[in-house]
Amino acid sequence: MDYRRMQSRDWRRLFLLILFLFSLFFLCGCGENLQPVVFPPKEPYVAYFSPQDSLYPHLVYLIQEAKESVYAAFYKIELKEVSRALIEAHKRGVKVRVFTDDMTSWDKESQFGELNEFHLIKKDKDPESLMHHKFCLIDEEIVWTGSFNPTSKGSFKENNNVVVIKSRTLATEFMKEFEKLWEGKPSSPANFSHSQISLNGAQAEAYFSLYDNPEEAIVKELEKAKESIHFALFTFTSPEIAHALIHKFAENVEVKGIMEKEQDSSFSQYRSLKKLRMSIKEDGNFYFMHHKFFIIDKNIVITRSFNPTWRANYQNRENLLIIQSSSLAAQYEEEFTRLWKEAINR
């Protein structure tokens, strides 16, 4: 009888120990599940999408792998995992600089205070415009950019995309923009090359608001379309880009688009394009469909922080990437097809 009681207590203790360790695994953050950034063979670029890829574990991985420097410009930064990785990088001797928007730095979830304790972060001083960038540079060689802000919703609930590119030449273009931000010279022009950057067979071009005209760059690419234009846009008010789409639609180019339903205002191009019987849908995500990309002829990807609006083109700090790569376009086409199936036709 005593032996059975002892055996029962032993099993109970073992069960409680396993339950405790299981809970501890998640509560202490051991389940962070960092994901490495893996470039395909012979391709120095790869895309990731949320919520399916979460995104932030890839960013934290890159920060942890940094040997010399991390320069980041994010409209908002709320994830403790990201700020913790930046602080740890600083402590091990990596040069860390973070720039953010002045308005979001006051948000309750903002990590500005934590990063500011180590003098790692600055914010813009222009209340009339947004510092809307979402890029990070690792060792001045790897560029991370797209529609993703390091927030919980951005990782787990919103639809976002990020492209990671290994190219010192491209990183140099982004460094010019970061240096202007850090030096507090938002209106000072920079010597951007605008030349095509070779990515082992693919091509890339970078554009920045205030210095360039990203809107014009998009229109020029759209006008080259021969077969198809697919897009997913958080907000879309630009008449110039709408006219380019209408022109290509009239030439029998397939035009299909998904737009965030919450952005259907009187300024939105949604209804004007629908009236022309274009295949335009509202997204089906309860949370934001925060993408900002075009796919042209299944060969060109345009992605960025840039929303096609007047403010983004002429007031905000934004970036735009045009990448010619059929394999990268295939990744974005897969995401577009998934969203299209969930989208609502109204």
Active site residues: 290, 292, 297
Structure tokens at 11: 């099993």
Q: How far apart are CA 203 and CA 131, in angstroms?
A: 27
3 state DSSP class of 267: coil
Q: How far apart are CA 73 and CA 131, in angstroms?
A: 8
Burial of 253 (0-12, 13-18, 19+ CB in 10 A): middle
CA distances from 3 to 17, 37, 38, 127, 295 (A): 21, 54, 55, 74, 71
> Residue 45, Cβ neighbours under 10 Å: how many?
24
CA distances from 153 to 148, 161, 259 (A): 10, 13, 18
> By the 8 A CB rule, do 225 and 253 touch?
yes
DSSP lists the bridge partners of residue 323 as 204, 301
β-pairing verdict for 45-50 and 160-166: antiparallel
Q: Can you say whether residue 53 is alpha, beta or left, with left for phi > 0 and alpha for psi between -120 and 50 degrees?
A: alpha
CA distances from 58 to 54, 139, 234, 344 (A): 8, 16, 23, 31
> By the 8 A CB rule, do 305 and 318 touch?
yes
> Residue 119, Cβ neighbours under 10 Å: how many?
10
